Amino acid sequence: MFKFLKEMMDSVREGAAEAKAELAQEAAEKAAAHSAATEASRVKLAETSAYEKFLVSLGAPYKQTYTRELSAAARDEVPVVYLYCIGLPPDEKVEEFKSMLERDFGVTDLESLQVTYMALLSTEIDPDVPVDSKADLALAIARTSYMVCTGAAVGYLEPARALAMTEPLVQQAMARFDSWADFGANFVVGEKAAPGSNVLGSGFLKRTVDALLSHELSPWKHLAWPVSPTERDELLASRPRGQAVSEADGLG
């Protein structure tokens, strides 16, 4: 009897030890995976040009609303990556973003993206055309940045081409606004007054802008807005020049 009880207790102890070892192994594997993901994020951020970071951040009111990346990064204790870089967080589904591009812009491929981009550029963001409303301009810049960068993220065009085609809207952003707070405040006003805007959507976007201006991980807290001519020149000079884009492509 005593031998039987002892064997049972030994078996329980062995099972507990094995379970503890398995838990420790799982924890070690999760920690290693977390460390690898964090390092990969840091490398990606380090390799991303200042121009790309600024461009993507101009469209952050929409991207953050759809991906909630600030919350996810804070929860998982990882760097924010995709509010700085062209691309989508790994958990996001490409097909859903394709559907949103079609819903919001009528964009379904490279050709329709080009047509929409050129229309926005000529009517709302053209540097040679005076803009009466900074609010309308902030809205147009944010929407266009989001559209082009997301188009690259889902594969409608190469990221290098997205960077090449967006210099006019980056130029206008730098010329007409002097801070993320200025840009964000005007975006909120422009979005609220835009045709088709609704109270629910405007409320979401207003909260997103507030988060971008205050959250400790937000690019709007870490990227300095280029104010001086030297800062603007340095930002433009950081854009990769690996792919030339001609006006014949409709992206010049």
Chain segment 208-224, per-residue pLDDT in tens: 999 999 999 999 999 99
Residues 229 and 175: their CA atoms lie apart, in Å, by: 10
Handedness of CA 47, 225, 215, 198 (dihedral sign): negative
Interacting residues of 65 by C-beta distance below 8 A, sequence separation 6+: 204, 205, 208
- Backbone φ, ψ for residue 218 (5° rounding): -65, 140
Instruction: Find the DSSP H helices in 154-179.
Output: 159-165, 167-176
Is pLDDT above 50 for 246? no
Contact 80, 223 (CB under 8 A): no
Give the DSSP H or E segment for 111.
helix 110-120
Chain segment 36-61, per-residue pLDDT in tens: 566 777 788 889 999 999 999 999 99
Q: Which amino acid is at 40?
A: A
pTM as predicted = 0.81
Chain segment 1-36, per-residue pLDDT in tens: 556 555 566 565 666 556 565 565 555 555 455 455
How many C-beta neighbours within 10 Å does residue 183 have?
26
Q: Which of 167, 157, 153, 198 is nearest to 58 (CA)?
A: 167
Is pLDDT above 60 for 175? yes
Residues 209 and 215: their CA atoms lie apart, in Å, by: 10
Residues 153 and 158: their CA atoms lie apart, in Å, by: 8
